[in-house]
Amino acid sequence: MKMRKLIPRLDYRYSLQDVFISLKGVFTNKVDTEYLSSLFKTEDIFFVNHARTGIRIALNSVNLKENAKIGVLVYNCKTVFNSVKVAGYKSVFIDVTNNFQIDLEDLKRKKDEIDAIVITHLYGIPADMEEVRKILPANIPIIEDCAHSLLSRYKKKLTGTYGDIAVYSFGKGKLPSVGDGGFVVVNNKDFLTNIKKGHDKLPGQNVIAELKYVFMSLILAFLHNPVVYGFFTYPFIKKIDEKSDLGGKYEHKESRTLKVNIVLFLKKMNKLNDLIAIKKRNSLQNAEIIKTHFKKHIVPICKNSDWNYFMLPLISDNRDEVMVIYQKKGFEIGKHFSKSIQWATDFGYKNKTCPNAEILVEKVLTIPTYKSFIK
């Protein structure tokens, strides 16, 4: 069988240099978070193994009543819905616009049903947090899910600095691509003590787990090499993973972040602005190339924002055709969160209560931003 290259839609690179940087973390007693503290203007930063862990801790820290109802975007990751459930609460599903932002009109209709809200900045595209704050009563806690939106800005202000608590992620294929991990930033000091207590209860990681993770990250990077990915990973491993979740993308296991991943994340933060500039250039270029062949596409328009182009989502009437054509050209095109309505239904979503999202899941595609279609 002839090998052919296939560029994965997400960047899973993990170099030998990353290995050496990570291994230093195994023997690091204290991680220097001064850069993050200066960026977010707070020293109250807590590292967790996944953003889902951070969301769960945040929800259990904002003094909600039993069986509280949490507003969440229905077009979202399954792990957000599950975090609400693990916290002991129920989800109230809110629609999204064609710009992949929270539907403010739908929020107005449902604001009296919710006791707190998790705002996800999808694909790094900032929500209009000023309007969200105006719509919601002052006593409703706001948790910003910034798993996609590290260094995205709305009106020149970083996402994660508008709400009471913010949760970030630097998992595999994220921005930057490191390894599983994330952190919680506390803006409202009224909840700080509860966050500390929740974080203190998380189990730590031992040296064996740290070394094992570095090894597994190397294996994963190998599996995402374009030649290996096209010949083996995509046609075999990925198909199995979609059915059985081999990689644990959706499981809810809580712990603190591995030191190897924190150290590598902080190292890569130094060059993150340069990477964002490259991703933005590639995004705009790739979108134009697709539009020259397929006329009916909607590209997000985000006023007053400067987003990080973690991924570029498009709404397409020719989704499957685009995916097939570009796969033949050597690029994987994705359907990120296309199962979100199906997932949400498992957590209580009722059909036709978020009509625009139900359309989006049938038309959304995501194109790579770390690579250009022009070679």
pTM of the model as a whole: 0.92
Q: Residue 112's pLDDT is what?
A: 95
Q: Give the three-class secondary structure for 121.
A: coil
Instruction: Give percent of the chain above pLDDT 90.
Output: 60
Alpha-carbon distance of 24 to 54, in angstroms, equals 25
Is residue 2 over pLDDT 60? Answer: no
Confidence of residue 1 (pLDDT cuts 50, 70, 90): very low
CATH topology of domain 1-271: Aspartate Aminotransferase; domain 2 (3.40.640)
| Secondary structure (DSSP) of 151-186 | T-EETTEETTSSSSEEEEE--TTSSS--SS-EEEEE
CATH topology of domain 272-367: Aspartate Aminotransferase, domain 1 (3.90.1150)
Is residue 43 over pLDDT 50? Answer: yes
Can you tell me the mean pLDDT for 79-107? 97
Q: Residue 250's pLDDT is what?
A: 72
CA 327 vs CA 294, 322, 347, 375: distances in Å:
15, 8, 34, 15
Q: What is the Cβ-side half-sphere exposure of residue 307, based on CA atoms within 13 angstroms?
A: 29
Q: Residue 34's pLDDT is what?
A: 86
Domain segments of the chain as ranges = 1-271, 272-367
For 269, the token pair is: 């933060």
Residue, of 66 and 31, whose pLDDT is higher = 66
Can you tell me the mean pLDDT for 251-258? 88
The model's pLDDT over 218-238, given as tens digits with 9 standing for 90+, comes to: 999 999 999 999 988 888 877
Measured on CA atoms in the order 18, 24, 29, 33, is the torsion positive or negative? negative
Alpha-carbon distance of 187 to 333, in angstroms, equals 37
For 85, the token pair is: 């459930």
